[in-house]
A and B are shown apart, each in its own frame.
Chain A
């Protein structure tokens, strides 16, 4: 199936090239990587790399393994009994499924935003301060700084600055999702994984979050799974197309959507199946 040699690929199609990423550094590299649910191989020996500080979209029809792949990166699949992996999945050059990996530390560096917004049933402040508190930060002032900074990064500070003690469940869907993004950013991760983050939101909130992704690009490596092809075309630099667990094609977004190399890709993006 498709392989990517990074030397050949250039970030074509985006006007702003991130300044502190002159060369494309592979941040998350899958090498013949598979994920099994029992006997069922949900992700089949994929090999591609998510480049650092850019936005990579993973698209494909339902059941193609894109969410499974995403959840494998921060080892969320560990929660599912009977789930095992094959091949290697490297983060910063180190095997995520290696023997000595501290999973909690990994998850602090690889944050995740889920499909349905899931803020804790606590106040806005406590939601965002949850991660830093785990890291041992107890000083109220430092926590306030972190909360403000995270809400700013998630473009939520102005709306929330007077409502920090309100219950997070009282916010609207779009606000809750941005809160979840802020919560993930509060522990200063390197990577942000987003599993269909806008599929449960209205179009206006969707636009706000896509704008947010554009702002975060260049500071964080973002890998977004989406079943909405237009969204992938709008926000991402690179796109991977998965089908039934296989990686069909990986490449620069603009090129994949205008001149895809594989016929299957072309059939999918033109809507012949999906």
Chain B
């Protein structure tokens, strides 16, 4: 082949390589970018005075005096609104019935939206639900709430040939000529003074339990549940997997039965995860009655089954790749077979096994379908292994990140209100898996370096 052709081909190959890596990195960025940015929004945001008030009352955090002063300041800023409302209601009493009736619905809507934005009006009894006890805690949500105060959205279905069209009308028009008319401009001008947004770092989002279905608070039960489920899965899968791999490599012959067994293990790796979940429910919970319902134990066992084929396969490859000569050397000084394996072959195969463990941990942490039926609940308190309640805690169900991401994004009452929580959960899950992988890569590198001398 001509040397220029050769060089051209070389360049083409390396160019293709660079192109594919760039594409891959690019798609990874496209995937991870929004997750990281919006997920960070759960931790870093502009928090309002309502947020600080909530932190103080619910978690006893913050400088009480400073916050009280702030609240007083916002009350001053908000007072015109409430005064206008009071004035309007006095006017209402003076109106004739018909006119009063026409204001009934718009007024109620307006007051609801105002409570949404600013919280309960002064003088009103404290609402029952925490979510109603505070106004908007985040400035980005507050802007949305403000918009819904200022604008009314209706759907126009008059045209039969098209779907309903949204029509936005300024709410000020509904109250034109009344005492309430000026509050809309006031709100637009002074919303910041009424809520006092400030840059906030809420790293405790990770360690707080959620208050009132994730309206406030954090995701600690979910994080802890995921950690425990992953740990439990590896606790079951690792010994079983490594021992099975040792058996398959060192002790099993090459009979038909063993080949069949290997085929089964490989097939198991491809079974859809929801089948694992159903199996876990049928076998562990309803069959073996390991627990009386969803539980950490059943979830861990199911996840262990899910990752077992991966662990076996990775361990098998790792053990096989240990040079035969190590085993021979051990045997030649009088070691028995199992001793040679455990004291020489197994330590030498540790990097490969560790890789399999890491991949499995990442998978176990992120799998949703197996834990839907066996462990995960939407709302629950964080698992607590203290107070010598080991077995009882094992039998409790637990929230978990992957399941709750889905749950919060679809079945929650106010899906749009808690977007930041959803992204925060995704961010945490991705960060968790990345952290696990990074830790194991470092660990594996250390061990491999020791083995290579």
Task: Report whether A108 and B328 are in contact in the complex, using a CB–CB cutoff of 8 Å.
Answer: no
Residue B271 at the A interface, CB < 8 A?
no
Most chain-B Cβ atoms within 10 A of its Cβ — which of A105, A107, A116, A121? A121
Task: Report whether A134 and B453 are in contact in the complex, using a CB–CB cutoff of 8 Å.
Answer: no
Most chain-A Cβ atoms within 10 A of its Cβ — which of B253, B326, B332, B452? B332
Task: Report whether A167 and B453 are in contact in the complex, using a CB–CB cutoff of 8 Å.
Answer: yes
Residue A60 at the B interface, CB < 8 A?
no
A172 nearest CB across to chain B (Å): 11
Task: Report whether B450 and A114 are in contact in the complex, using a CB–CB cutoff of 8 Å.
Answer: no
Task: Report whether B335 and A104 are in contact in the complex, using a CB–CB cutoff of 8 Å.
Answer: yes
How many residue pairs at the A-B interface have CB separations less than 8 Å? Answer: 74
B447 nearest CB across to chain A (Å): 10
Residue A168 at the B interface, CB < 8 A?
yes
Q: Tell me the interface secondary structure of chain B in the complex.
A: helix
Residue interface mask A177-191, B partner, CB < 8 A = 1: 000100110110000
A130 to B334 alpha-carbon distance, docked (Å): 10
Task: Report whether A111 and B332 are in contact in the complex, using a CB–CB cutoff of 8 Å.
Answer: yes
The residue of chain A having its C-beta at the shortest distance from the C-beta of B339 within the complex is: A134
Most chain-A Cβ atoms within 10 A of its Cβ — which of B323, B325, B333, B348? B333
A167 to B326 alpha-carbon distance, docked (Å): 15
- The interface of chain A, by Cβ under 8 A from chain B, is 74, 76, 79, 81, 104-105, 107-108, 111-112, 114, 116, 118-122, 130-131, 134-135, 166-171, 180, 183-184, 186-187
Task: Report whether A131 and B333 are in contact in the complex, using a CB–CB cutoff of 8 Å.
Answer: yes
Task: Report whether B450 and A104 are in contact in the complex, using a CB–CB cutoff of 8 Å.
Answer: no
Task: Report whether B348 and A121 are in contact in the complex, using a CB–CB cutoff of 8 Å.
Answer: yes
> Would A186 and B325 be within 8 Å (CB), given that A121-B348, A134-B339, A167-B453 are in contact?
no
> Would A118 and B323 be within 8 Å (CB), given that A76-B328, A108-B334, A180-B329 are in contact?
yes
Task: Report whether A184 and B332 are in contact in the complex, using a CB–CB cutoff of 8 Å.
Answer: yes
> Would A112 and B332 be within 8 Å (CB), given that A118-B325, A134-B339 are in contact?
yes
Task: Report whether B334 and A134 are in contact in the complex, using a CB–CB cutoff of 8 Å.
Answer: yes
What A residues does B161 contact at CB under 8 A?
none
Residue B34 at the A interface, CB < 8 A?
no
What B residues does A130 contact at CB under 8 A?
330, 333, 335, 343-344
Task: Report whether A135 and B334 are in contact in the complex, using a CB–CB cutoff of 8 Å.
Answer: yes
Task: Report whether A79 and B328 are in contact in the complex, using a CB–CB cutoff of 8 Å.
Answer: yes
Task: Report whether B450 and A134 are in contact in the complex, using a CB–CB cutoff of 8 Å.
Answer: no
A205 to B125 alpha-carbon distance, docked (Å): 94
The residue of chain A having its C-beta at the shortest distance from the C-beta of B325 within the complex is: A118
Q: What are 24 A-B residue pairs whose CB atoms fall within 8 Å in the complex?
A: A107-B334, A108-B334, A111-B332, A114-B329, A116-B325, A118-B326, A120-B326, A120-B330, A120-B344, A121-B348, A121-B452, A130-B330, A130-B335, A130-B344, A131-B333, A131-B334, A131-B335, A134-B339, A167-B453, A169-B452, A169-B453, A183-B329, A184-B332, A187-B333
A222 nearest CB across to chain B (Å): 15
Residue B347 at the A interface, CB < 8 A?
yes
What A residues does B323 contact at CB under 8 A?
118
Chain B, range 333-350, C-beta contacts under 8 Å to A: 333-336, 339, 343-344, 347-348
A104 to B347 alpha-carbon distance, docked (Å): 21
A166 to B450 alpha-carbon distance, docked (Å): 10
What A residues does B201 contact at CB under 8 A?
none
Task: Report whether B453 and A118 are in contact in the complex, using a CB–CB cutoff of 8 Å.
Answer: no
What A residues does B335 contact at CB under 8 A?
104, 130-131, 134
B27 nearest CB across to chain A (Å): 39
Task: Report whether B329 and A121 are in contact in the complex, using a CB–CB cutoff of 8 Å.
Answer: no
Residue in B325, B334, B343 whose beta carbon sits within 8 Å of that of A104 in the complex = B334
